Amino acid sequence: MRSAEAVALLSELAGDEPVVSSLGTPSFHLYAAGDRPGNFYLWAAMGMASSVGLGVAIAQPRRRVFVVDGDGAALMNLGGMVTVGRRRPPNLIWLILENGVFLETGAQPIASVENADLVAIGRGAGIASATRCEDAASLRKALENAREKAGPHLVVARVDPDSPDERPKRDPFRIKLRFMDSLA
C-alpha cells in the first residue's frame, strides 16, 4: 500500500484526537490528509514522535493519542519503544510506516528491510498489541481494533516509499501553540 493511503486512513480514524507525526514523510502525508490544530508535526526531531506521543497520552488519559512514525525514526529511538512498553499507556496508538529506507535523504536501505522486525522488537519491549499490516483492509481493521481496546498498540504498516510534493509550512512555534490549544 502507499504510505499516503495509510496515513489518510489513520487521520480519518483519529477524528478529533491528537496526532503526533515524525519528521519528513509522516508529517507530509498527515498534512496532505488534512491539516488541523490537533496535528503536531515534528521537525528536526527524528525518532522522537513516540516519546512526544507518550507524553501526550500520559497527560491526556481520556483521549486516544495517535503517533505516525517512519521505520528509520522508530529504529533511531528504540528507547522510546522500550519506554512505551514499560509505561503501557492504554490510550496510545502508534503507526510505523515501514518502507525500508531513509526516504528524505536518498532512499538508503535500513535494517527493517531485511532483519529488524519492528513487531517482534515491540513485543519484546513489552507492547503486547503489536501487529503488521500489508494492505489497507488489514490496516483499517488493526486501527479500528486499537481504537476500541486498551493499548498501547503498535501497528507496523508495510508501505511503498512515497512522499507527496506538497510540503506544510514549517512554523514550529505556531504548530506548538495551536496543538496545545486543541488539547485544552
Residue 163 domain boundaries: 3-183
Question: What's the gap between Cα 2 and its chain centre?
Answer: 15
Find the CATH number of the domain harbouring 137: 3.40.50.970
pLDDT band at 43 (very low <50, low <70, confident <90, very high): confident
More confident residue, 101 or 8: 8
Residue 19 has pLDDT above 80, yes or no: yes
How many domains does the chain fold into?
A: 1
Distance CA 181, CA 120 (A): 37
Q: For residue range 137-156, list pLDDT tens digits in order.
A: 999 999 999 999 999 999 99
